């Protein structure tokens, strides 16, 4: 499984991802799911991937080839972020279809992949988009300024509680790490290293990045502080008042 998320706040964008992949529980590996495409001063884009690893790797190979050869379209020349999301969706659908055709199975071959793509292009606003396996896409809303792919539910409550467009960029980055920590805590199929990239609005630079290994001092301290703080917070809560139950409800 996988967990990736993107957060869009007024100050900029946050991208975060785990690095665990598995084909069954007996084939667990570590792959980066974060891919950055930047032309400083002109555009800065980040892609996060979830789903079938063969598909996501094939898609990223194509994105990289098109980026390097300057093909039209490519992430180097799409006029808008929406165009970049549409291009990514077209590549994804084409390569999924090819895998199914090669296999000869028309059904039952799970090659689906989902992507997040976000960033900023000169003269335009920053944005984040989720590209579905079918190639269509959505963006985030001001009331719900984040997008998630993969194993999304365990890490959603803290985002729902904390994230708003007004949240400072570095706080949004911290919240992304807590969201991933909660997910790793509850689901072994999501694991480190955790990659984090922050992009400051209008910088048009590659942003700031770090891959947190399990023994990363900051990440270890963060996880401990959150765990201990939750325990202390919980210990302060009042117990519920209860009445004797009726003999039976039947």
Q: Can you give the binding site for a copy of itself, defined by CB under 8 A?
A: 32, 34-38, 40, 63-64, 67-68, 153-154, 156-158, 160-162, 170-171, 173-175, 177-178, 182-183, 185-186, 196-198, 205-210, 212, 218-219, 221-222, 225-227, 229-231, 233-234, 236-250
Task: Report, in Å, the least distance between residue 101 CB and a copy of itself.
Answer: 27
Cβ proximity to a copy of itself: between 101 and 202 the closer is: 202
The CA angle 175-181-183, to the nearest 5 degrees, is 110
Query: CA-CA distance, 98 to 55, in Å (whole number)?
Result: 10
The CA angle 170-206-211, to the nearest 5 degrees, is 60
Cβ proximity to a copy of itself: between 79 and 157 the closer is: 157
Residue carrying structure tokens 């606003």? 125
Q: Which residues pair with 148 in a beta bridge?
A: 5
Which residues, including other chains, have CB under 8 Å from residue 235's CB and lie 6 or more apart?
none
Cβ proximity to a copy of itself: between 41 and 79 the closer is: 41
Cβ proximity to a copy of itself: between 36 and 109 the closer is: 36
Task: Report, in Å, the least distance between residue 139 CB and a copy of itself.
Answer: 20
Cβ proximity to a copy of itself: between 100 and 162 the closer is: 162
Query: CA-CA distance, 235 to 245, in Å (whole number)?
Result: 26
Among 64, 113, 110, 59, which residue's Cα sits nearest to residue 88? Answer: 59
Query: CA-CA distance, 134 to 241, in Å (whole number)?
Result: 50
DSSP state at residue 122? T
Task: Report, in Å, the least distance between residue 55 CB and a copy of itself.
Answer: 18
Task: Report, in Å, the least distance between residue 173 CB and a copy of itself.
Answer: 5
The number of C-alpha atoms within 13 Å of 84 and in the hemisphere containing its C-beta is: 28
Cβ proximity to a copy of itself: between 97 and 153 the closer is: 153
Q: Which residues pair with 117 in a beta bridge?
A: 47, 129
Task: Report, in Å, the least distance between residue 38 CB and a copy of itself.
Answer: 5
Task: Report, in Å, the least distance between residue 138 CB and a copy of itself.
Answer: 18
């Amino acid at each position: 499984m996988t967990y990736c998320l993107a957060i869009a706040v007024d100050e900029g964008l946050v991208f975060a991802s785990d690095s665990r992949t598995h084909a069954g529980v007996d084939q667990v590996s570590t792959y980066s799911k974060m891919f950055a495409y930047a032309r400083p001063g002109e555009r800065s884009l980040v892609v996060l991937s979830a789903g079938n690893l063969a598909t996501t790797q094939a898609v990223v190979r194509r994105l990289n080839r098109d980026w390097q050869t300057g093909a039209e379209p490519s992430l180097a020349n799409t006029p808008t972020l929406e165009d970049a999301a549409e291009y990514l969706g077209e590549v994804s659908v084409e390569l999924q279809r090819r895998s199914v055709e090669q296999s000869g199975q028309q059904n039952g071959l799970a090659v689906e992949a989902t992507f997040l793509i976000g960033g900023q292009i000169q003269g335009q606003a920053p944005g984040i988009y989720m590209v579905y396996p079918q190639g269509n896409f959505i963006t985030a809303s001001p009331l719900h300024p984040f997008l998630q792919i993969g194993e999304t539910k365990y890490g959603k409550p803290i985002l729902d509680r904390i994230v708003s467009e007004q949240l400072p960029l570095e706080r949004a980055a911290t919240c992304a790490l807590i969201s991933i920590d909660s997910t790793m805590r509850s689901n072994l199929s999501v694991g480190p290293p955790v990659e984090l990239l922050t992009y400051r609005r209008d910088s048009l630079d590659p942003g700031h990045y770090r891959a947190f290994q399990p023994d990363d001092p900051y990440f270890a301290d963060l996880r401990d502080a959150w765990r201990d703080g939750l325990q202390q917070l919980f210990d302060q809560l009042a117990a519920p008042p209860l009445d004797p139950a009726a003999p039976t409800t039947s």
